[in-house]
Amino acid sequence: MVIKPKVRGFICTNAHPTGCLTSVKEQISYVKTQGDLSVKPKNVLVIGCSTGYGLASRITAAFSGGAKTLGICFEKPPSEKRTGTAGWYNTAAFHQQAKAAGLYAKSINGDAFSHQIKAQTIETIKQDLGKIDLVIYSLASPRRTDPDTGEAYVSTLKPVGEPVTSKTFDVNKKVVHEISLEPANQDEIDNTIKVMGGEDWELWIKELNNAGVLADNCITTSYTYIGKELTQPIYGRATIGKAKEDLDRASAALKQDYAKIGLKAYVTSLKAVVTQASSAIPVMPLYISLMYQVMKDEGVHEGVIEQIYGLFETLLLAETPAMDEANRLRMDGVETNDDIQGKIKAIWPTVTTENFAELGDYKGYNQDFLKLFGFEFEGVDYDTDVDPLVEW
121 touches 101 (CB < 8 A): no
Pair type for strands 132-137 and 214-224 = parallel
Side chain identity at residue 217, one-letter code: N
Query: Where does the chain have alpha helices with state H?
Result: 17-34, 52-63, 86-100, 115-128, 186-196, 199-210, 239-257, 284-297, 304-311, 333-336, 338-347, 356-359, 362-371
**218 vs 107: CA distance, rounded Å:** 21
**318 vs 260: CA distance, rounded Å:** 20
**383 vs 373: CA distance, rounded Å:** 16
Beta-bridged to residue 1, according to DSSP, are none
Phi and psi dihedrals of 373, rounded to 5? -110, 10
CA distance to 1, 38, 118, 346, 348, per residue, from 343 (Å) = 45, 35, 45, 5, 9
Pair type for strands 105-109 and 143-145 = unpaired
Side chain identity at residue 391, one-letter code: E
CA nearest to 373, candidates 279, 285, 296, 293: 279
**310 vs 67: CA distance, rounded Å:** 17
CA nearest to 356, candidates 298, 301, 288: 288
Question: Among the options 53, 89, 235, 365, which is catalytic?
Answer: 235
Clarify whether 235 is annotated catalytic.
yes
Cα 313 vs. chain centroid, distance in angstroms?
A: 18
291 touches 241 (CB < 8 A): no
The beta strands (E) that lie in 110-183 are given as 132-137, 143-145, 152-154, 164-170, 175-181
270 touches 307 (CB < 8 A): yes
Catalytic residues: 235
